[in-house]
Amino acid sequence: MPFLFESVLVTGSSRGFGFEMVRQLANLSYPPKYIFATCRSPGGETAKELKNFASDHSNVTIISLDTSSKESIQKSALLVKEKLGNDGLDLVINNAGIKTESPSFLDETEEDMMRVFKTNVVGPFQVIQAYHSLSATAGQKKGFAAILNFSSILGPCEKSNFGGLYPYVISKAGMNRMTKGLSFELIRDNIITMCICPCWVKTAMGGLDKGILTPQESVGYIMKIIQSMDKSKNGAFYNYTGDINPY
Ligand SMILES: NC(=O)c1ccc[n+]([C@@H]2O[C@H](COP(=O)([O-])OP(=O)(O)OC[C@H]3O[C@@H](n4cnc5c(N)ncnc54)[C@H](OP(=O)(O)O)[C@@H]3O)[C@@H](O)[C@H]2O)c1
């Protein structure tokens, strides 16, 4: 069965979850025509594996995108538009994110809080703004386009049972509220907006020797959720299992 979306953009695809997403998309039997694998340093050491992979997959285009820089986000959108021509962008995956850790709430700094908030919330919001016209074109031509934001079950308050990781958990709570709000506005342009928790995954962020799932397993689950997207899913906060999480 062909993949639901012909064009997909992934932020933070140099490693971890984002790279695995690009890898599994490109290796589908009927892969998307365009996979925009964005990362903040395409020429850097961290993007080496992605570069090697892209050299064997002509539908993977690496594009520079730093979610903490509005200028970089806007530049990336121009490059993607150039490549897509009159086609819109079917799916935007806001995956890039950072986490900081401090011994206690007294050690949390303004600098860390602002950096995490900028990268994890303001940046993804600006990505959605910068790509809006491309998403809306796809929404109009194909019935619907989609935005998938990477959140975490650590964000919502309802099931929270621990303190700590303040910059990160506050940023994910913000991302959830942003997703819910945008789901009401963007649906007018046939764009559905959802967020998802990929589980505790063995990456640099999750802990390579910790975590419950490997990136391969987690992305495997999420690919099924992506493939089942339709307008009825607009505004949902998904768990990797396909269940709906509380906001
Ligand atoms: N791992 C988990 O257990 C877990 C659980 C719940 C949610 N998540 C979410 O899943 C997403 C991916 O996490 P991960 O586990 O794959 O983390 P990761 O292994 O630490 O990878 C993070 C990715 O984000 C990129 N990134 C960081 N800052 C960026 C910026 N300013 N602009 C663009 N890219 C940037 C990194 O690029 P560089 O190589 O340039 O640093 C890297 O590609 C995050 O949003 C995270 O919050 C993860």
| List of domains in the chain | 7-239 (3.40.50.720)
Contact between 245 and 156 (Cβ < 8 Å): yes
CB-hemisphere CA count at 13 Å for 244? 8
Per-residue pLDDT 10s for the chain (247 aa) are: 778 999 999 999 999 999 999 999 999 999 999 999 999 999 999 999 999 999 999 999 999 999 999 999 999 999 999 999 999 999 999 999 999 999 999 999 999 999 999 999 999 999 999 999 999 999 999 999 999 999 999 988 777 888 999 999 999 999 999 999 999 999 999 999 999 999 999 999 999 999 999 999 999 999 999 999 999 999 999 999 999 998 8
Residue 140 CA to ligand 1 centre (angstroms): 31
Pick the residue whose CA is nearest to atom 17 on ligand 1: 205
Residues having CB within 6 Å of any atom of ligand 1: 11-12, 14-18, 39-41, 46, 65-68, 95-98, 119, 150, 152, 197-198, 200-201, 203-206, 211
**What spacing in Å lies between the alpha carbon of 48 and ligand 1's midpoint?**
16
User: For residue 104, what are its two tokens?
Assistant: 């206690």
Report residue 227 as tokens.
């493939």
Ligand 1 probe mutation, 9, 17, 169, most atoms within 8 A of CB? 17
Handedness of CA 55, 148, 222, 231 (dihedral sign): negative
Whole-number pLDDT of residue 19: 98
Ligand 1 atom 11: the closest Cα is on which residue? Answer: 95
Cα–ligand 1 centroid distance for 141 (angstroms): 31
DSSP character for 243?
A: P
Q: Which amino acid is located at 141 in the chain?
A: K
Task: Look at ligand 1, atom 40, and give the residue with the nearest C-alpha.
Answer: 40
Model-wide pTM > 0.85: yes
* pLDDT at site 161: 84
CA distance 191 to 85: 19
Comparing CA positions, the residue from 116, 134, 148, 132 lying closest to residue 11 is 148
- Ligand 1 atom with minimal separation from the 17 CA: 16
Compute the distance from residue 16 Cα to the ligand 1 centre, in Å. 7
* Closest ligand 1 atom to Cα of 151: 7
Q: State in Å: Cα 239 to ligand 1 middle.
A: 17
Report CA(204)–ligand 1 centroid distance (Å): 8
Centroid of ligand 1 to alpha carbon of 18 (angstroms)? 7
pLDDT at residue 213, as a whole number? 96
